[in-house]
Each structure stands twice: as structure tokens, then as C-alpha cells.
């Protein structure tokens, strides 16, 4: 307990999945959190369930103005910002020929533009108090290895991977003591995964196939990623920046 005592974290995509799991674990370890999400009803429910150390702000991560508002809400309520977790994202299973330009642009707006804005305004807010902090970007194993039917998703998550390294090097060069790292999960048992496979002819068969691809033989749990977020938010990772931390049951090792 207490691994992130006193820290204030803003977590996008906090209404469900990895964002929700990360928020709950961070609060359990002493942080105060601002959950943001485009799903305002569910986000408000999650924040209320977590309790007094959590608030919710409606937030479209592709909007620069809404990023400014969300960060102001965090600093107005808690007086500072120490951690940004860029967890919001979407997925689409299409190859390069099937992907429309509109679908491509939407993927980039949420998965990559949203992370860019979170880094840009997160650095600005965190450096104000001078104590340093941590920016944690949720990428994917699909940001490291390709898939024939993930053209836009691969591109967006690969972009997050290298943006993270650029932000880390910039902050180190400026002496901000702000670390920036990317987390690369594989198939995690979240609503987004089930939505992705829901369009297949046999979702149960598709789910079983995904599990067989994982050397450890199971889907990941949201907390498997959430504990990595806690580590990166804490001072235990004080010398870790610009890194890609893989949470994939062994897939990339194959």
C-alpha cells in the first residue's frame, strides 16, 4: 500500500477496461485520480464507485480544448498533476485495402492525436510544481509487430511508441524529471476486445483462437496492465524513461 501516496493522476478512457483498472489500482495505492472519458454516464458511475479520491470529467481526447479543460479540472480540484495515463483508444480490424480514409483519420485522431495532446499538456502541467512526474502511454503489441488486418491500428500504436521516446528524450534534455514510457498489452479481456471480435462469424471461436496465440495460454486481465501503470506512476520506476514495457503473455518473445 501507498506506492503512489500523494500523487494526482489523470487517466483517459477511465470509464472501462484498462483505464478503469488503472484508476482503481492507483487509488488503492494512495493516489487521487481524475477519470476522463467520452462515455459520461459510465465514467461518472465508476468515479462515484471509487469514492472521494476520484472525480470524473467528460472528455473527447481528440479535442485540444477539452484537454485543456480536463487538466484544469485536475489542478483546480487537487492542486497539482503528477501522472498522465493516456489509455483512451479505439480499434478497427481492416486491412489497407478495406480501410477508408475517414476510418484512418478517426483512428489517428483518437489513438495518436489524443496521446500527443496528453503528452503536450501533461508535460506543461506536471513541470509547474517542479517535482517531476510520469506520462504513461498505452500502446499495444500491435505497435511493435504487424497484423495483416490492422493497418490503421498498427500505424496509430506504432506512432504512440515512437512519440513516447521523443517526449522522454525532450523531458530529459530539459531537466524536467518527467518520465515517459509506453505500455504494450496483447489481448486483454476488456469491452474493446469483445467489440473487436463481435463482428466475426463466430466470436467464441475467434476468442479461443486468440488465447491459443498467447504462450501463457490465457487472455490478459485489466489488472495485469494496471499494475504496470502503478509501477510506472510510482518512484519505483524513477530511472525508467523512453522504454516500451510489454505485457503480452509472451507473444513478442515468439
Work out the mean pLDDT of the chain and round it to a whole number.
96
Per-domain boundaries in the chain: 8-185+220-246
Q: What is the pLDDT of residue 203?
A: 80
In what order do the strands lie in the sheet containing 244-247? 54-58, 32-37, 8-12, 83-86, 133-138, 178-185, 244-247
Q: Is 231 a catalytic residue?
A: no
pTM: 0.95
Residue 195 confidence (pLDDT) above 90: no
Q: What is the pLDDT of residue 145?
A: 96
Residue 253 confidence (pLDDT) above 90: yes
Catalytic residue among 153, 176, 227, 231: 153
The model's pLDDT over 224-242, given as tens digits with 9 standing for 90+, comes to 999 999 999 999 999 999 9
CATH code of the domain made up of 8-185+220-246: 3.40.50.720
The model's pLDDT over 52-111, given as tens digits with 9 standing for 90+, comes to 889 999 999 999 999 999 999 999 999 999 999 999 999 988 999 999 999 999 999 999
User: Binning pLDDT at 50, 70 and 90, where does residue 211 land?
Assistant: confident
The model's pLDDT over 19-58, given as tens digits with 9 standing for 90+, comes to 999 999 999 999 999 999 999 999 999 999 999 889 999 9
Residue 174 confidence (pLDDT) above 90: yes
CA distances to 8, 38, 81, 125 from 129, rounded to whole Å, are 12, 29, 8, 8
Amino acid at each position: 500500500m501507498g506506492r503512489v501516496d500523494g500523487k494526482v493522476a489523470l487517466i483517459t478512457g477511465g470509464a472501462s477496461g484498462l483505464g478503469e483498472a488503472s484508476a482503481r489500482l492507483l487509488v488503492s495505492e494512495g493516489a487521487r485520480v481524475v477519470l476522463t472519458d467520452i462515455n459520461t454516464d459510465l465514467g461518472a458511475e465508476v468515479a462515484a464507485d471509487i469514492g472521494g479520491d476520484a472525480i470524473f470529467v467528460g472528455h473527447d481526447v481528440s479535442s485540444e480544448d477539452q484537454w485543456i479543460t480536463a487538466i484544469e479540472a485536475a489542478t483546480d480540484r487537487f492542486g497539482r498533476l503528477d501522472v498522465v495515463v493516456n489509455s483512451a483508444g479505439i480499434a478497427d480490424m481492416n486491412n489497407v485495402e478495406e480501410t477508408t480514409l475517414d476510418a484512418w483519420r478517426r483512428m489517428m485522431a483518437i489513438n495518436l492525436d489524443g496521446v500527443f495532446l496528453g503528452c503536450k499538456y501533461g508535460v506543461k502541467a506536471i513541470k509547474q510544481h517542479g517535482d517531476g512526474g510520469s506520462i504513461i502511454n498505452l500502446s499495444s503489441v500491435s505497435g511493435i509487430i504487424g497484423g495483416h488486418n490492422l493497418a490503421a491500428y498498427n500505424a496509430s500504436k506504432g506512432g504512440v511508441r515512437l512519440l513516447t521516446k521523443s517526449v522522454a528524450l525532450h523531458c530529459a534534455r530539459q531537466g524536467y524529471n518527467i518520465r515517459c514510457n509506453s505500455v504494450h498489452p496483447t489481448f486483454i479481456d476488456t469491452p474493446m476486445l469483445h467489440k473487436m471480435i463481435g463482428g466475426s462469424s463466430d466470436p467464441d471461436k475467434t476468442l479461443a483462437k486468440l488465447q491459443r496465440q498467447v504462450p501463457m495460454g490465457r487472455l490478459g486481465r485489466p489488472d495485469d496492465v494496471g499494475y504496470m501503470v502503478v509501477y510506472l506512476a510510482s518512484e519505483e520506476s524513477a530511472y525508467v524513461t523512453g522504454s516500451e514495457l510489454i505485457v503480452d503473455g509472451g507473444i513478442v518473445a515468439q
